[in-house]
Amino acid sequence: MASLETASPALEVLRRVFGYDTFRGEQGAIVEHVAGGGDALVLMPTGGGKSLCYQIPSLVRPGVGIVISPLIALMQDQVDALNALGVRAGFLNSSQDFEERRLTEAMYQAGELDLLYLAPERLRVPATLDLLDRGRIALFAIDEAHCVAQWGHDFRPDYLGLSELHERWPKVPRIALTATATKATHAEIASRLNLDDARHFVASFDRPNIQYRIVPKAEPKKQLLDLLRTEHKGDAGIVYCLSRSSVEKTAEFLVANGIDAVPYHAGLDSRTRAENQARFLREDGLIVVATIAFGMGIDKPDVRFVAHLDLPKSVEGYYQETGRAGRDGLPSTAWLAYGLQDVVQQRKLIEQSEGDDAHRRRQSQHLDAMLALCETVECRRVQLLAYFGQESTACGNCDTCLTPPESWDGTIAAQKLLSAIYRLQRERRQKFGAGQVIDILLGRKTAKVIQHDHDTLTVFGIGEELSESGWRGVVRQLLAQGLLAVEGDYGTLVLTDASASVLRKERTVLLRREKVTKASAKPAKKAAVDMPEEAAPVFERLRAWRAATAKEQGVPAYVIFHDATLREIATSSPQTLEELGRVSGVGENKLAKYGQQVLDTLNA
């Protein structure tokens, strides 16, 4: 390892300010390239350390690093975290009053800032561009760069104007960063931001500490409760739901069952949203139940699980949302409950969505890839990484690796189901949803079956070898394979062009055998670096000190120290400030600010 005298300026900043001895993965190469004035496009997973890739060059280069971010609600926390490290950071956004903005602008012009965070829409205001001209710019960092790509899952029109940065300030280096991009999204980011000639860094998308699990949806709220009680008692986590109503009901259900949870969705007033987000960031062990409006840019390192009670619209969205778990590198769970109604609902949303046929085709392709991930009998991680163009081998830490699913020849079952739909469509000129078709196959003489004389169909009662849940699994998997489709407001089932090959016995249909299991069928692996037993009470004392200090300062606990740092302190038990300064994550400023308090807590 190089000494501080021979270390590069970037490595010296990493050690002095951030308290880390070495860069991780591609970080070092990215930092040196941008610090040297080069443009970069960085694809790196959530928790991979993207922020250091622009923060350190901003501290090394003369001038102020301008960070473009859509995360207005989190800018204060991002700035607080940097200020705690002794970095001079500020932001300009609509949450500030006139005096706060004027002070930040004056600090920028006087060269008294190292980093300045801006929302992309502010760059459309001429006064902001004029302000930037009056200071010295070290670099432009475009965070969440996938927002520029219409092919991606989180398009923001304001990002389209960011290509003009290079035209106005051609000598200022730019770094665009995202945690999620397929090859198509990657190419679109490069094109729209004029970064084709930039150096592209693509890190591994693998997050080996996350255990991916997808379970058949039975009673999802009860399945979630089982997961929390058996594996994640007292842990912080995020639960994603598709609708605001589902968010509210799930949060109420968890609270009624003794679990501390708060809702988050766009229908809540801004004050409640801000309070709930602040509680999640500042408190240990709180669960937030949210729509996908929540979570982008959340830096909370100790989120132990992300659960989805509804099917995500795309693999990119799913990957980014699950990536909010385990940013500290410790074992975490990504859990999804998925059922037939999810598929029907997402297909219907695509059919009713605004936009042209090309837009709907893109949405369908996103959904098809998500369904393939849910239905695979192979390693989930292999399938997930393949979506981002990365080859891998079976991980041994996902549900399909830990409890390999069985596949079965479902050709005859598929033929029976498709025949029932064919009879309804061709003989009766009728279309129905899955429930009615399954009732016909099971030979149930319900009021609706009798009303439409469906008990006289030749297919009535020919499917008694499977249960209702078994047939719903068949329907779901045929939808996923494109052998069935849904249409209309009521999600009626219709045949596709591919259905004929099954009915003509030209195609074999392999299906995944349905197994409704408890959420906790296979608990997550324990941390690879568990603390010694005697260190656990010391760790809890340190957490209590950190919580009190964070509350006093009005900042999230992780701004003081990450759990990983406290674990190392508890285990190594440093007795002097010099020894404490050698712990990973204890930089110069934090050592001066908190060092004696930590030593006092250790010796209490």
Structure tokens at 237: 């986590």
Pick from 158, 174, 202: which residue ends a domain? 202
Are 274 and 353 in a shared domain? yes
Contact 332, 211 (CB under 8 A): yes
Q: Residue 6 pLDDT more than 70?
A: no
Q: Residue 164 pLDDT more than 90?
A: no
Pick from 364, 381, 402: which residue ends a domain? 402
Are 356 and 385 in a shared domain? yes
Are 460 and 555 in a shared domain? no
Is residue 157 in some structural domain? yes
pLDDT band at 151 (very low <50, low <70, confident <90, very high): low
Q: Please list, in sequence order, all residues whose beta carbon lies within 8 angstroms of the beta carbon of residue 338, skipping any fewer than 6 positions away.
A: 214, 215, 216, 217, 308, 311, 374
Instruction: Bin 429: left if φ > 0, else alpha if -120 < ψ < 50, else beta.
Output: left
Pick from 402, 429, 444: which residue ends a domain? 402
What strand order describes the sheet that includes 40-43?
A: 89-92, 115-118, 64-68, 137-142, 174-178, 40-43, 199-202
The whole-number average pLDDT for the span 100-105 is 94
Are 484 and 556 in a shared domain? no
Q: Which tens digits make up the pLDDT trace of 313-359?
A: 889 889 989 989 998 888 999 999 998 888 888 888 888 887 788 87
Instruction: State the residue range of the domain holding 565.
Output: 533-602
The three state secondary structure string of 112-177 is CCCEEEECHHHHHCHHHHHHHHCCCEEEEEECCHHHHCCCCCCCCHHHHHHHHHHHHCCCCCEEEE
pTM for the predicted model, two decimal places:
0.79
Phi, psi (degrees; rounded to nearest 5) at 131: -60, -45
Is residue 4 in some structural domain? no
Are 193 and 46 in a shared domain? yes
* Distance (Å, whole) CA 291 – CA 268: 11
* Distance (Å, whole) CA 205 – CA 385: 7
- CA-nearest of 288, 282, 279 to 240 is 288
Is residue 528 in some structural domain? no
Are 172 and 81 in a shared domain? yes
pLDDT band at 5 (very low <50, low <70, confident <90, very high): very low
Are 156 and 261 in a shared domain? no
pLDDT of residue 530: 63
Are 413 and 394 in a shared domain? no
**Which letter, b or e, does each residue of 245-255 get, where b requires 16 or more Cβ atoms within 10 Å of its Cβ?**
ebbbebbebbe
Are 267 and 185 in a shared domain? no
Is residue 552 in some structural domain? yes
Is residue 359 in some structural domain? yes
Q: Please list, in sequence order, all residues whose beta carbon lies within 8 angstroms of the beta carbon of residue 217, skipping any fewer than 6 positions away.
A: 223, 337, 338, 339, 341, 342
Distances (CA, A) of 307 to 108, 253, 334, 336, 526: 41, 15, 6, 6, 19
Are 132 and 28 in a shared domain? yes
Are 395 and 493 in a shared domain? no
Instruction: Return the bridge partners of 263, or none.
Output: 289
Q: Which tens digits make up the pLDDT trace of 73-90?
A: 778 888 988 999 999 999
Q: Residue 437 pLDDT more than 70?
A: yes
Is residue 379 in some structural domain? yes
Q: What single DSSP character describes residue 454? A: G
Is residue 523 in some structural domain? no
The structural domain count of the chain equals 4
Are 195 and 232 in a shared domain? no
pLDDT of residue 364: 84
Distances (CA, A) of 397 to 47, 403, 534: 19, 10, 29
CATH number, domain containing residue 20: 3.40.50.300
Which H or E run includes 387?
helix 380-387
Q: Which tens digits make up the pLDDT trace of 167-212?
A: 999 999 999 999 877 888 899 999 999 998 999 999 888 999 999 9
CATH number, domain containing residue 581: 1.10.150.80
Is residue 477 in some structural domain? yes
CATH number, domain containing residue 445: 1.10.10.10
The total number of residues written for the chain in this structure: 604
> What is the residue-averaged pLDDT of the chain?
89
pLDDT band at 376 (very low <50, low <70, confident <90, very high): confident
